[in-house]
Amino acid sequence: MKFHELTIEAARKLLINREISSFDLTSDLLDRIETHDPGINAFITIDRESALEQAAKADKDIANNELSTLTGIPIALKDLLCTRGMRTTCGSKILENFVPPYDGTVVKRLKENGAVIIGKTNMDEFAMGSSTENSAFKVTTNPWNREYVPGGSSGGSAAAVSARFCCAALGSDTGGSIRQPASHCGVVGLKPTYGRVSRFGLVSYASSLDQIGPFTRTVKDAGTMLQVIAGHDPMDSTSAPEEVPDFSRAFDRFDTNALKGMTAGIPKEYLSVEGIDPEVEQVFNRSKKILQDLGVTVKEISLPHTDYVVAAYYIIAPCEASSNLARYDGVKYGLRDTSGEDLMDMYKRTKSRGFGLEVQRRIIIGTFALSAGYYDAYYGRASQVRTLIMEDFSRAFDTCDFILSPVAPAPAFKIGEKMDDPLTMYLTDIFTLSANMAGVPGISIPAGHSSKGLPIGIQMMAKRFDEMSLLRAGYGFEQTLCLDRQFPNL
Amino acid sequence: MKISTDEVEKMAHLARLEIDDSQKEKMADQLSHILQYIDKLKDVDVKGVKPFSGTVFAHNVLRGDEVRPSDGPDVTLANAPERDGDFYTVPRVVK
C-alpha cells in the first residue's frame, strides 16, 4: 500500500483499523510534496510543523475513539480560504503577507471534523482566470504534462489532488473554477448549489456567483467532503436554510441498472458551440452511451440563451469584482505603498502595484459597466439576461434530472498559449458559466484522455439543492469507467 | 463599443488605479475587443424581464442586536500596515 494512493474512504478505513497513523500518512505526503512540487507548483504555503501537529492530535483522537468524518485526513485549501494564523494570499501581491485573524466557516468545519490542513494552493489572482497563470507567485503545471496548464482558477487544488499530494482539496467556483481544472487534471470537482456552502471567510470575487466546493479522486469522497462543509451558517446571509440530506445515500447501490428511471438532458445549443475539440466530442458521446447502458434516458433539451452566457457573465462578474476589490486600499490590511504624497496616491499606487493585469482589467470593465450612462446598457441588461438564463434552466429541469455536457471545449492548453488574448480565454468557459449564473450545482468527472494523454471530464448539472442526483449519476458513471484508478506518473 | 485611452484613464481614476502609459493603449484595445463581443447582449429581447435580484431567497435575514465577544484591537490590528496605538494611520488627507 502506498500512502499517496489513498482516497479519503481508503485512508479512513486504515486509520480506524489502526493499520496506519495520520502522522505517517501526513509526513509521507509532505515528503512527496517536497520532492515533486517544485516541478508542479501546486502550493503557495506549506506548514509542515503545523500539519504534523494536527496529525499527531488526530492519532490521539483515534486512540481515544473520538472519530469524526475526516479525522487524520490530509486536505489542501485554495489560498483564498481564510485560515487563522496561516497566510492567505489569494494569489495576489496585495495580500502577500495577510494572516487572517479567523477561520472561514468551511475551514472551521474541516477542523472540527478532524481534517489535517496540509497547505494552501496556488490560484489565479483573486480567482480571475482559467489557467492559474495569473497567480502573482508562480505558474502551476498540469501533473499529466508539465507543458500544459492545470486549468483555473483553482489550478493548485486540482493539481495537488491529481498529483496525489493530499486526499482532497477545497477550491472555489465562480464560473467554472472547480469543474474546469478538475476536468483538465483528471479529478472529481463539485460546485455545490449557490447557498449550499457558507462563503464566510472566502475572499470575495463575485459574491452572487462564488461557491466553495471539493476536489477529490472519487465521487464518493466528493459526497463526504460536501457533507462536512454544507449547511446553513448565520455568518453568511446568502447561505441557505435548506436541510442537508445524507449524501451517502447516493452510493447505496451500484449495479448495471443503477440509474434506471433517471433522465439526462443534452442541450442542443451546446452541440453547435464552435470549436469543440473532436476528442472532447468523442469522450462526450462515449459518456452518453455509458449512462444509457446504466439505464439513463437521454433526451435533447434546449437552453435558448446559451449564446449570451459568456457576454452576460463577463459583465456581471467584473461589476461585482470592481465593488468587492475596492476594499484593498492599503488602510487596514494588505499591501500599502507610501511612495506618494497623499491619501489618493496611496490608494492608486497600492492597488496598481498590488493587483496584476487581469485583475486590473476586470476592475476597469466592472467600473465602466457600472458607471453613469452605461449602467443600464451593460449591468442592467446583463442582469436581465441572467434572469432569462435562470428561466432556461428551470424549464429544462422540468423534463430531466440532470444536464449532461462537456466541461471545456478542449483539453488543457499549453502554458502561455492564451495569455495575450483575454477574450479567447473567456470563451473557453462557455459550458461552466451557466451553473453559476443559474445558481445550480455542477460536477466534473474524469471521462477519458486525449491522444496526448491529457484528461477530459464530463459535466453534470442538476436543479438547485439536488447534488444528490449528481452524486448518484456520477458514482454510477465512475464505477463503470474506473478512471479513478489512473493517475499521472510524477 | 470602442474604448479610448482617455476613457481607460477615467475609469482607472474612478477605480483608484494608475495604469502605466505604456499599458494604456493595449488595455484600451483589449477592453474594446471584449466590449465588442459583449455588445451581442443588445440582440436579446429583454422587454419586461426583471433583472436578477441578487438573491435567490425570498426572506430577509435578521439577527438580534446583541453584544458578543470579539477578538479585540490587538488581533484586529495585527495586519495594519501602520498603526498608532489602537488606531490605523493613513497619509495626510487634507492639504
**What is the C-alpha separation between B48 and B50, in angstroms, rounded?**
6
| Beta bridge mates, A161 | none
User: Tell me: the pLDDT tens digits for A44-68?
Assistant: 999 999 999 999 999 999 999 999 9
**Whole-number pLDDT of residue A470:** 98
pLDDT at residue B50 tops 90: yes
What does the pLDDT look like over A293-344, one tens digit per residue?
Answer: 999 999 999 999 999 999 999 999 999 999 999 999 999 999 999 999 999 9
**Adjacent-strand bridge partners of A60:** none
Residue A435's contacts (CB-CB under 8 Å, 6 or more residues apart) are: A176, A179, A191, A441, A442, A461
In chain A, residues 319-348 whose CB comes closer than 8 Å to chain B: 322, 326, 329-336, 338, 340-348
The region, left, alpha or beta by phi > 0 then psi within -120 to 50, assigned to residue A323 is: alpha
Residues of B within 8 A of A98 (CB-CB) are 79
- Asked which of A75-84, A316-325, A358-367, B62-71 is least confident by mean pLDDT, the reply is B62-71
Query: Residue B38 phi/psi, 5° resolution?
Result: -65, -25
Distance CA A256, CA A83 (A): 44
pLDDT tens digits, one per residue of A232-251: 999 999 999 999 999 999 99
Nearest Cα neighbor of A247 from A483, A417, A466 is A466
Q: Does the annotation mark A93 as catalytic? A: no
Distance CA A183, CA A483 (A): 12
Query: Would you say A82 and A108 are in contact if contact means Cβ atoms under 8 Å apart?
Result: no
- Is the separation of the CB atoms in A296 and A264 below 8 Å? yes
Q: Is the dihedral of CA A362, A308, A130, A436 positive or negative?
A: positive
Interface predicted TM-score (ipTM): 0.95
Cell 483575454 found at: A422
* Contact (CB, 8 A) for A78 and A215: no
Q: How far is CA A382 from CA A136, A426, A472, in A?
A: 30, 16, 34
Instruction: Report the percent of chain A where pLDDT is more than 90.
Output: 94
Name the strands in the sheet holding A442-449, side by side, starting at the edge strand that comes first in the sequence. Answer: A43-46, A116-121, A74-78, A168-173, A211-216, A188-191, A442-449, A455-462, A402-406, A263-267, A297-301
* Record: contact A346-B92, CB cut-off 8 A: no
What is the model's pTM?
0.97
A450 among known catalytic residues: no
* Contact map slice: A 224-263 vs B, CB within 8 A: 234, 237-238, 240
Buried b (16+ CB within 10 A) or exposed e, A295-318: ebeeeebebbbbebbbbbbbbbbb
Minimal-distance CA residue of chain B relative to A329: B16
In a 3-state reduction of DSSP, which class is residue A463? coil
User: Distance between CA A250 and CA A254 in Å, rounded?
Assistant: 10
Summarised one tens digit per residue, pLDDT across range B59-70 is: 788 888 999 998
pLDDT at B55 over 60: no
Question: Are residues B54 and A367, on separate chains, in Cβ contact within 8 Å?
Answer: no
Question: Which pLDDT belongs to residue A256?
Answer: 73
- Give the model's pLDDT for residue B58: 64
Which grid cell is A267? 442541450
The answer to whether B48 faces chain A, any CB pair under 8 Å, is no
Contact yes or no for A324/A205 (Cβ under 8 A) = yes
CA distance A64 to A242: 34
